[in-house]
Amino acid sequence: MSTVLKWIVRIFGVLIGVLLIIFLVASAIPALADPDVGDDHGAGASSVQPSYTGLQREFPALNETAANPTTDAKAELGYLLFFDPVLSENNDIACATCHQPDLGFADGLPLAIGADGTVLSRNTPGLWNVGYAQNLFWDGRLDSLEVQSEIPLTHPDEMGVTDTAALVAEVAAIGEYASMFDTAFTDGVTLENIENALAAFQRTLISNNSPFDEYAAGNVDALTPSQRRGLALFRSGATRCFECHTAPTFANDTFRVVGVPSNDPGRAAVSEDGAEGAFKVPSLRNIVLTAPYMHNGSLETLEDVVDFYADGGGRLHGQENVDVFVQGFDLTDQERLDLVAFLYALTDESGLPAVPTAVPSGLPVIEPADNPARAEVAAHNVGDNTGIDLGDREPMTIVVQAGESVQTAVDRARPGDTIEIPYGLYHERVVIDINDITLRGIPNDAGEWPVFDGQGKLTEAVIASGNNFTVSHLDVRNYTDNGVLVEGVTGVHFHDIYAENVGTYGVYPVRSTDVLIERVEVTGVDDAGVYAGQCENVIVRDSVVYGNVLGIELENTINGEIYNNHAYDNTVGIFVVLLPQLTSKISANTLVYDNIVEDNNHENFAPPGAIAGIAPSGVGILLLATDNAEVYHNEIRNNKTTGVAVFSLTSTGAFDTNEVDVGPLPEGNWVRDNIYENNGYDADPFVRDLGIPTADILWDGTGMNNRFNEESASSFPPLVPGDGWPNFVRRGYTNILGFLVSQLL
């Protein structure tokens, strides 16, 4: 062998050895994996059972700590300390100075006023139901009421205590306090116990008996007609208020950028993954008592707040990172009044503690405050609260009479009833909150279903929050936001529905459990024809979707089945996804089988800013950040970008990494035994610009244990892991490929 040839063999051997070492190292490195969210994933219904309506929801656990369980003695002590100026450096400021009970435990000012008249940087938040909050302060810097108390106590611009030991000694020298601390705690007066007592008192500030709560419990007359219309708007696809202000707290422990003009960095100042200008979603309970609004107190009235969101929040000012749920909407003058009227129905001061006439220190106590909003509350909340008359009758069938609205018939219903709608043309929105209701159309002799036509003005045809709800045999057209929306309940059955040109979603169950959607046909919507979001146990079958941005979508949903459907001429045929900044933090265990998914090459016509706008045209089935999906026995053909795509959230480039509060990787997905024909022949520019070759299957190389058992399908990368690969080989390959693809993207 010549010397040159020997050197070539040696060099080749070294290269092979280096590659082998790289592969062995990659195989030994733990694969990047998403955190396990466990059983507390947030998907599915939280409605109380048994109940009269589906609007009664389980309150979360109090943020009580094991080290400081609440007792009456602690709460009583905390109550007095809350009103006592002795806790401030100059004995002139109490907690109640800024958190005044008569002002919703806020202060009625745009910005808080601290020591010596110092104007602080943010609006004082109310304290009602603060015991349910997991993040405290506008920026969520702390998660403990006990620790939170120390911030205002020691901040130089607030209560200003410079020597906490001196404060403890001052309190201990007051005989009544010393005795109360000895009763409440085993170790008497300490700074920690002062904070523990204040926290215990704040956890007693519960508001849960408002007119809305009475309505949710079954007293249908507890809300005025205006407030009931406002409730429908609140949970409609137009305003989407309910997406962030979730019952029963009407709050949310996420941080949102709504775009109030401000130089305040918000969450970004306290967390590396915080978005610039993001603030915690506040509770709307007793919100009418706490004006002005927003983190900087810049909006004086609730009407101003509604107008701000109707204008699209910060989008009006050109801000780019505004939350996806702040899209703007159109309201008539009456609808604006109705929405604000509903917010008044969230008022309940039945647990309001009286301002003590004196405190143990003998220092002056704040004077009760006059809150003019209370007169407005009294004027708005004039529903009948004398009790719930459920009636004592057997379930019956109620037929909508000639000249009668469907809503009038629904209002006569009781649990177990069936409302039948004769064939005809109806221009209305129907709201159903009672459990165990069936709403069905009666076809004419030609088999045509009753037509609900929103005339391009009404938001939805049907909004329901009743458990065990069935809706069927309806033709729904020309609504601005959705066809049929069901929110927060258990037991939903949509069947035999046609929806066309109804805005965002054709059928729209959200935060619900045990959902069956079958024989539904949807076309012409600018998001998903058939959509289930943040749900648990969903079946979509025997349905047809075409001419939509997304044909069928399961978003942040666990345990789904999509089978025997026909998805064609959509931007994306079937979409299974995990998105950030939602209550549910999981998308897992979806079966997609026996579907025909073809010709999904429609241009993406989602409105600006909508998440659906990220979907590239020409994708048959898209698995985005979802886990443990199984895609099999589908016919997938003529989708110009790809037949099946498996991607992570971060690969899309659509999300600021600071906003991604879910596991972004697709993991454990299995694509097998599908029939492919003529996919990937003309990739969408989004994919083409990445330089990715088109194929039947596209995978971005992220996420462990993804398997592709498709012998006849083309793929990118050309070699994809199959079911028979050993774990260490799959891990090494995924680690190397993920790195290479990350450099490409």
158 plus 256 within the same structural domain: no
| Structural domain containing residue 186 | 72-207
Residue 32: the pLDDT is 59
Residue 229 lies in a domain: yes
Which residue, among 269, 353, 455, 288, has the nearest Cα to 95 in the 3D structure?
353
240 plus 339 within the same structural domain: yes
Find the angle CA(500)-CA(505)-CA(508) to the nearest 5 degrees: 120
- Rounded-to-integer distance, Cα 98 and Cα 94, Å: 8
* Residue 511 scores a pLDDT above 90: yes
- Strand-pair partners of 532: 554
* Residue 316 scores a pLDDT above 50: yes
Task: Tell me which of 31-45, 125-139, 218-232, 588-602 is least confident.
Answer: 31-45
Give the DSSP per-residue string, 639-678: -SSEEEEEE-HHHHS-S-GGG--S--S-BS-EEES-EEES
239 plus 284 within the same structural domain: yes
* pLDDT band, residue 730 (cuts 50/70/90): low
Residue 356 lies in a domain: no
402 plus 466 within the same structural domain: yes
Residue 324: the pLDDT is 82
413 plus 529 within the same structural domain: no
* The token pair that represents 730 in the structure block: 């799959």
Q: How many C-alpha atoms does 39 have within 13 Å on its Cβ side?
A: 0
For residue range 124-142, what is the model confidence (pLDDT) as tens digits?
A: 999 999 999 999 999 999 9
Label residue 163 left, alpha or beta by phi (over 0 means left) and psi (-120 to 50 means alpha).
beta
Among 192, 207, 222, identify where a domain stops: 207
* Residue 490 scores a pLDDT above 60: yes
For residue range 154-188, what is the model confidence (pLDDT) as tens digits?
A: 999 999 999 999 999 999 999 999 999 999 999 99
Asked whether the CA dihedral 242, 245, 247, 253 is positive or negative, the reply is positive
Residue 358 lies in a domain: no
Mean pLDDT, rounded, of the chain: 89
Asked whether the CA dihedral 271, 275, 278, 283 is positive or negative, the reply is negative
How many beta carbons lie within 10 A of that of residue 267, not counting itself? Answer: 26
Residue 354 lies in a domain: no
* Residue 48 scores a pLDDT above 70: yes
Q: Which of 94-108, 377-391, 721-735 tops mean pLDDT?
A: 94-108
Residue 589 lies in a domain: yes
* The token pair that represents 101 in the structure block: 């009970």
172 plus 218 within the same structural domain: no
- Rounded-to-integer distance, Cα 475 and Cα 423, Å: 10
- Rounded-to-integer distance, Cα 560 and Cα 279, Å: 33
Q: Which residues, other chains included, contact 100 with Cβ-Cβ below 8 Å and sequence gap of 6+?
A: 106, 107, 108, 366, 369
Among 189, 207, 225, identify where a domain stops: 207
Residue 350 lies in a domain: no
Cis peptide before 717, with omega less than 30 degrees from 0?
Answer: yes
524 plus 465 within the same structural domain: no
597 plus 680 within the same structural domain: yes
288 plus 395 within the same structural domain: no
221 plus 147 within the same structural domain: no
451 plus 568 within the same structural domain: no
* Residue 3 scores a pLDDT above 90: no
Residue 210: the pLDDT is 96
Cis peptide before 282, with omega less than 30 degrees from 0?
Answer: no
Q: Mind spelling out the 3-state secondary structure of 679-699?
A: CCCCCCHHHHCCCCCCEEEEE
Residue 500: the pLDDT is 98
- Whether 605 contacts 635, CB under 8 Å: no
b/e map 321-340, b = 16+ CB within 10 Å: ebbbbbbbbebeeebbbbbb
For residue range 536-568, what is the model confidence (pLDDT) as tens digits?
A: 999 999 999 999 999 999 999 999 999 999 999
Residue 425 lies in a domain: yes
* pLDDT band, residue 314 (cuts 50/70/90): confident
Q: What is the CATH number of the domain that holds 295?
A: 1.10.760.10
Q: Mind spelling out the 3-state secondary structure of 129-163?
A: CHHHCCCECCCCCECCHHHHHHHHHHCCCCCCCCC
* The token pair that represents 411 in the structure block: 């209002």
435 plus 509 within the same structural domain: no
Provide the domain count of the chain: 4
Residue 11 lies in a domain: no
- Whether 31 contacts 734, CB under 8 Å: yes
Among 207, 233, 249, identify where a domain stops: 207
307-334 mean pLDDT: 86
39-62 mean pLDDT: 86
Residue with token string 């109804």: 502
* Residue 364 scores a pLDDT above 90: yes
